Amino acid sequence: MDIKAIYEAVIRGDRTAVEAGVTKALEEGTEPDVILNEGLIKAMEEVGQRFESGDFFVPGMLIAARAMKTGVAILGPLLVNSGVKPIGKVVIGTVAGDLHDIGKNLVGLMLEGAGFEVVDLGTDVSSERFVAAVQDEKPGLLGLSALLTTTMSGMTEVIQKLTENKLRDMVKVFIGGAPVTQTFADQIGADAYADDAAAASRKAKELLSGS
Ligand code: B12
């Protein structure tokens, strides 16, 4: 199976072709992470660039995102090994005002694959809800996602609210999303930043082991 065909099907927003392409590639022995990175994620990067240059509009982006999700749904179980005892608990969510969830979902999947128990709060999560989840779930790690420059301040707010509620020392905060950088993470006092799902899972393990 040509990975390029999967890539093109995502850009076209052709869910049926994505499903067929991913299934066929797996049958032919292509590694799930190759399909994910070279087919699905690369296609979404291209969609983002086309949107920026005015060749793509929101509906096109949405249809492409749905097609990508179809592919991720097939790959998901293969990226996660089940039946392992959790090595730690992570609460994860996309910050207030932000509806992007593909990257956050991938991070969640990779963390599950690495043996974490993942509590996913979804998208458009207020800082109050993050704080309540830290109180209730008592996770070792809190993962915050933001895809818009306008919603990144939600991350700052979550960290401030954790401090106000005397919870900041109880949980390590790691952050990510396209506009997020290490510099931003340092500025707001996050414990770690990762630029993709594999790095997120590596960082999560480091944070838990205290290294
Ligand atoms: C798909 C998409 C949408 C879909 C979202 C569907 C969904 N269910 O997620 C829809 C159509 C709904 C959408 C809407 C909008 N979007 Co949009 N969208 C995108 C697009 C094309 C792809 C995002 C994506 O899924 N990437 C693929 C994933 C795998 O990558 P990722 O999200 O970056 O995640 C990885 C890493 O960042 C990291 N990561 C992510 N989260 C976390 C969390 C933690 C804890 C860690 C450690 C790591 C981590 O790991 C992930 C996996 O590798 C991007 C373009 C881009 N290049 O990012 C624009 C983009 C983010 N959108 C943009 C805009 C402007 C919008 C809208 C405002 C458009 C509009 N006018 O309405 C709305 C906002 C809606 C809202 N309130 O949130 C802009 C943002 C510009 C900016 N600087 O703020 C972008 C960059 C497009 C562009 N080039 O202009 N969008």
CATH of the domain at 153: 3.40.50.280
175 bridge partner residues: 144, 193
Residue 2 phi, psi (nearest 5): -80, 120
User: Domain containing 148: what range?
Assistant: 88-209
Tell me the residue length of the chain: 211
**Core vs surface per residue 165-201: b (16+ CB within 10 A) or e:** eebbeebbbbbbbeebeeebbeebebbbbbeebbbbb
Q: What is the pLDDT of residues 66-95, one digit of tens each?
A: 999 899 899 888 877 645 567 899 999 999
**Residue 197: CB within 6 Å of ligand 1?**
yes
If phi > 0 it is left, if psi is from -120 to 50 it is alpha, else beta; for residue 66 that is alpha
CATH no. for residue 58? 1.10.1240.10
* Domain end among 30, 55, 79: 79
Buried b (16+ CB within 10 A) or exposed e, 22-47: beebbeeebebbebbebbbbbbbebb
Q: Do 52 and 96 share a structural domain?
A: no
**Domain stop point among 49, 79, 109:** 79
Confidence of residue 201 (pLDDT cuts 50, 70, 90): confident
Determine if ligand 1 sits within 6 Å of the CB of residue 145. yes
Determine the Cα–Cα distance for residues 160 and 178; give it in Å rounded to an integer.
Answer: 22
Across 144-153, average pLDDT: 98
Domain identity same for 174 and 120: yes
Please report how the helices 3-12 and 42-52 are oriented relative to each other, as an axis angle in degrees rounded to 10: 40
Domain boundary, last residue among 53, 79, 105? 79
17-56 per-position pLDDT tens digit: 999 999 999 999 999 989 988 999 899 889 888 988 999 8
Residue 109: CB within 6 Å of ligand 1?
A: no
User: pLDDT confidence of 101, banded at 50, 70, 90?
Assistant: very high
Please tell me the predicted confidence (pLDDT) of residue 84. Answer: 53
In a shared domain, residues 198 and 142: yes
Q: Identify which of 42, 61, 188, 193 to mutate to test ligand 1's pocket (most ligand atoms within 8 A of the CB).
A: 61
Atom 90 in ligand 1: residue holding the nearest Cα = 52
Between the two ends of the chain, the Cα-to-Cα distance in Å is 41
- Ligand 1 mean position, distance from CA 166 (Å): 32
Q: Quote the ligand 1 centre to 170 CA distance (angstroms).
A: 29
- Considering the domain architecture, whether residues 54 and 157 belong to the same structural domain is answered as no
- Assess whether 75 and 97 both reside in one domain: no
